[in-house]
Amino acid sequence: MIRSRGVIHRDFKPANILLPPEAPRVIDFGISRFLGATSVTPSGLLGTRGYAAPEQLQNAPLSTAVDVFAWGCVMVFAATKRSPFPAGNGEAWREQVLHGSPETGATREPLLRIVLYCLHKDPAQRPTARDLMDRLVETHSAG
């Protein structure tokens, strides 16, 4: 829904997802931005360590790909109870996000393949939200 409204959340994480019986809800749009805003860069607000995309750490222009990256991080957390980039201090974490491989632990196929696609370092190589949804539906239908 937020994609169809042209919003980049920029802080998508487990604490910002509610799971009521009717459907999941994303909350806390405190640092979100509209696509096409005059500045869609981090502007000093990076979101939460463990869920921020590489481009958020490089002061690069942002797109909805940051939320797709964060979704991949949330799925790893759901499977393992750990961030895929668990480095302790800020600089080690930054290095891990920018150059390291995600630690996916107990994340299993077919979800693992989709998650790794979402965690690609290059935002242009990540799926769009629509592509991600299509892949999830296709995987669920095949299973």
What range does the domain containing 76 cover?
7-142
CATH number where 137 lies: 1.10.510.10
| Under 8 Å between Cβ of 6 and 62 | no
Q: Which residue has the tokens 């299993």?
A: 108
pLDDT, tens digit, 9 for 90 and up, residues 4-44: 456 676 677 888 777 788 887 776 554 555 455 444 444 55
DSSP for residue 20: -
Running along the chain, 143 residues long, what does each successive block of 10 average in pLDDT? 58 78 71 49 62 88 89 94 87 93 93 96 94 89 73
- pLDDT the model gives residue 35: 55
Q: Is residue 1 part of a domain?
A: no
Whether residue 74 lies inside any domain: the answer is yes
pLDDT for position 3 = 47
Q: What values do phi and psi take at 18, rounded to 5?
A: -100, 145
136 domain-assigned: yes
* Number of domains, the chain: 1
The catalytic residues are 11
